[in-house]
Amino acid sequence: MKHINLSAEEGSVTAFVGPSGSGKTTLLRTLNLLQLPSEGSVKVGEITANAGDLHKKTIRDLRQNSAMVFQQFNLFKNMTVKDNVAKPLIFNGLANKKEAEETALNVLEQVGLSGVAEQYPVTLSGGQQQRVSIARAVAVHPRVILLDEPTSALDPELVESVLRTIANLASKHVTMILVTHEMEFARQIADRAVFIEDGAILDQGPADDLLSGTRPGRISSFVNSLSHPTIRKEA
């Protein structure tokens, strides 16, 4: 990544878009310090983490302010859906067992999955697993939720339920930064969009404008190529 200078307003949704391998996911993971930056700094809420001065405590404090949703869901396979959501609260000392379970059921209700609270992740569809993963992130009340291509690993018919869940959070002004290839969705729910290519930010601005496909520059050809994929006929 190079020359990254980016900020996201509290309560806003920011979408990272760009070709595969451009560095979107790397940038997102850096915000949670799953990927440690070699230079520069990351600030979430009041916590600033400077590269070269990344103590364990700084990393933990920063992660207290953010939560991540992964492409492959990454649910704890040995725990029930309810425990997947409740245990991080208990482990972080944010709630006792009873409170954590109440919060878990409440958040699962919000994503429409209270009915599967006692089931294990393997018994759920990909879409359901991803919504549990979103519920798990929401439950710890982070300042920002980071979503890394949350629908990329899903069968097409399961994508909608996950997008609805994310849209629901956006309507409640939950701060989110989202890596996605779902251009139309990003355009609808994101306040800002950031176009990343070759590890650098090539363009950023209001999502509605940036992802319209009419803005001059490389972004339009990228957006249009996703909206209208063309296959050249072999001669």
Partner 1 sequence: MNFDWHYFFSLFTQLPAYVPITILMAVLSMILAIFIGGFLTSLQLSPVAPFRGFAHLYISLFRGMPTLVQLFIIFYGLPQIFPALRGLSAFAAVVFGLGFKQASYLAEIFRAAVNSVDKGQIEAGQSLNISRSKLFLNVVLPQATINALPATGNTFVSLVKETSLAFTLGLTELFGDGKMIAGESFKYFETYLAVGIIYWILIVVYTWLQHLLENALQKPYRRTANVINRSKEPVSENRPEASLETH
- Asked if 43 touches partner 1 (CB under 8 A), the answer is no
Comparing CB distances to partner 1, the nearer of 103 and 110 is 110
Helix (H, G, I), strand (E, B) or coil at 70: coil
Q: Considering only the stretches 87-95, 96-104, 195-203, 222-230, report the one whose residues sit in contact with partner 1 under the rule CB under 8 A.
A: 87-95
- Asked if 57 touches partner 1 (CB under 8 A), the answer is no
- Asked if 26 touches partner 1 (CB under 8 A), the answer is no
Instruction: At 8, list the tokens.
Output: 């996201």
Closest distance between partner 1 and the C-beta of residue 44, in Å?
12
Task: Count CA atoms within 13 Å of residue 179 on its CB side.
Answer: 25
Among 188, 212, 220, 224, binds partner 1 (CB under 8 A): 188
Among 1, 27, 44, 75, binds partner 1 (CB under 8 A): 75
Q: What are phi and psi of 190, to 5 degrees?
A: -85, 145
Q: Distance of CA 235 to CAs 56, 88, 229, 230, 232, Å?
A: 59, 57, 19, 15, 9
C-alpha 14/C-alpha 129 separation (Å) is: 23
- Asked if 16 touches partner 1 (CB under 8 A), the answer is no
User: Residue 31's closest CA among 65, 76, 73?
Assistant: 65
DSSP letters along 116-165, please?
GTTS-GGGS-HHHHHHHHHHHHHHT--SEEEEESTTTTS-HHHHHHHHHH
Among 168, 212, 220, 224, binds partner 1 (CB under 8 A): 168
| Site map (CB under 8 A) of partner 1, residues 91-120, x = contact | xx----------------xxxxxxxx--xx
Closest distance between partner 1 and the C-beta of residue 68, in Å?
4
Alpha helices in the chain (DSSP H): 24-31, 56-64, 81-91, 97-110, 126-139, 156-171, 183-189, 207-210, 218-227
Q: Considering only the stretches 44-52, 77-85, 193-201, 210-218, report the one whose residues sit in contact with partner 1 under the rule CB under 8 A.
A: 77-85
Closest distance between partner 1 and the C-beta of residue 50, in Å?
19
Comparing CB distances to partner 1, the nearer of 41 and 72 is 72
Residues that bind partner 1 (CB under 8 A): 13, 32, 34, 60, 63-64, 66-68, 70, 72, 74-80, 87-88, 91-92, 109-116, 119-120, 122-125, 127-128, 133, 136-137, 140, 146, 161, 163-165, 167-168, 170-171, 185, 188-189
